[in-house]
């Protein structure tokens, strides 16, 4: 039984020694390759190339971050400009509404002035007709009074009494008084007609002024519509440029995100390789320790 145990131990020792020898040879080969890679210019160039690529990627990342900050500032500026354009559009809209209200008021005033002008014209025609009628009546009454005076004077002349007692003084006074009253009435109507003509001229001036205000309001409305169209076009252009910048920024962010993911994956791969190498070395150390213990036990 002891000889069988010794024979089994000899077989295990032989297998362990072969495994150790193989691992030591492989370790020496790897060590030589590492030393040659460290000492050779190719390894240094590869490491320098790797470091240079890493530095370039870091510079690109910094450049992308700066571009991102610049794009954010440009976006904020565009947003402020869009807000200003919106506020200006609102102001223009309010001015347009005010111009429309002023135009409607001007149209109402124009209609009122037209109506007032028509009424004044009708009133002036009516007053002229009344003045003509009054003048005709006055002329008729004056002619009748003249005839009455002539007939009365003839009847008085037919008498042979005292000439002073029968003179038509009262009739002449009455005629003069009537003529003065009619003259006053005519003057009153003339003053009323002149006042009506003055108010008609004032109405015409107001009408022309309202027409001019209406034309100015229409011109101002056209200018405001042109400005509003220009502002709308500028707003659309700014929105398109903002959307384009957002798309470009999103594409660059995706590219940098992919680059960062690739670098992170490469980092994880390197960490896994380093952990595997450390684990292999630890296993090798445990194997050496177990072999040394078994060798000591065998001895």
- Per residue in 217-230, pLDDT tens? 778 888 888 888 88
Report the C-alpha gap between 291 and 19 in whole angstroms. 10
Report the C-alpha gap between 278 and 40 in whole angstroms. 24
Residue 65 is predicted with a pLDDT of 82
Task: Give domain limits for the chain.
Answer: 19-37+49-155+178-298
CA 193 remoteness from chain centre: 58
Q: Is 1 helix (H, G, I), strand (E, B) or coil?
A: coil
Cβ-proximal residues to 96 (8 Å cutoff; 6+ apart), any chain: 221, 224, 225, 228
| Structure-token pair, residue 86 | 């919106």
- Per residue in 25-83, pLDDT tens? 988 888 888 788 776 655 556 667 767 877 888 888 888 888 888 888 888 888 888 88
* DSSP 8-class letter at 44: H
> CA dist 80 to 52, 77, 138, Å?
41, 5, 83
**Residue segments in the chain with a per-residue pLDDT below the cut of 70:** 39-47, 50, 138, 149, 152-172, 174-175, 178, 185, 189
Report the C-alpha gap between 140 and 54 in whole angstroms. 125
> What is the residue-wise DSSP string for 148-216?
HHHHHHHHHHHS-S-TTTT--HHHHHHHHHHHHHHHHHHHHHHHHHHHHHHHHHHHHHHHHHHHHHHHH
Burial class (CB in 10 A: 0-12, 13-18, 19+), 292: exposed
Report the C-alpha gap between 41 and 48 in whole angstroms. 10
Helices H, strands E: what count in the chain?
A: 3, 0
**Shortest CA distance to 213 belongs to which of 221, 201, 202?**
221
**Shortest CA distance to 248 belongs to which of 79, 62, 74?**
74
* DSSP 8-class letter at 299: -
Average pLDDT, the chain: 78
């Amino acid at each position: 039984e002891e000889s069988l145990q010794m024979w089994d131990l000899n077989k295990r020792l032989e297998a362990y020694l072969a495994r150790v020898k193989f691992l030591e040879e492989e370790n020496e080969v790897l060590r030589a390759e590492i030393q040659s890679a460290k000492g050779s210019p190719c390894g240094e160039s590869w490491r320098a190339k790797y470091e240079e690529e890493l530095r370039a990627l870091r510079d690109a990342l910094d450049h992308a971050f700066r571009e991102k900050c610049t794009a954010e500032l440009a976006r904020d500026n565009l947003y402020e400009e869009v807000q200003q354009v919106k506020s200006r559009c609102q102001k223009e809209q309010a001015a347009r509404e005010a111009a429309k209200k002023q135009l409607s008021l001007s149209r109402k005033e124009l209609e009122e002035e037209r109506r007032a002008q028509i009424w004044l014209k009708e009133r002036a025609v009516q007053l002229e007709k009344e003045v003509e009628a009054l003048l005709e009546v006055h002329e008729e009454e004056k002619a009748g009074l003249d005839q009455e005076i002539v007939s009365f004077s003839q009847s008085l002349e037919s008498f042979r009494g005292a000439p002073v007692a029968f003179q038509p003084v009262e009739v002449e006074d009455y005629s003069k008084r009537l003529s003065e009253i009619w003259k006053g009435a005519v003057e009153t109507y003339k003053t009323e007609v002149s006042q009506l003509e003055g108010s008609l001229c004032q109405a015409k001036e107001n009408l022309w002024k309202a027409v001019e205000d209406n034309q100015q309001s229409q011109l101002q409305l056209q200018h405001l519509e042109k400005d509003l169209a220009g502002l709308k076009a500028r707003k659309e252009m700014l929105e398109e440029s903002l959307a384009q910048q957002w798309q470009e920024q999103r594409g660059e962010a995706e590219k940098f995100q992919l680059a960062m993911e690739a670098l992170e994956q490469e980092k994880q791969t390197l960490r896994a390789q380093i952990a595997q190498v450390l684990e292999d070395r630890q296993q090798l150390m445990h194997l050496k320790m177990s072999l040394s213990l078994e060798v000591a036990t065998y001895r």
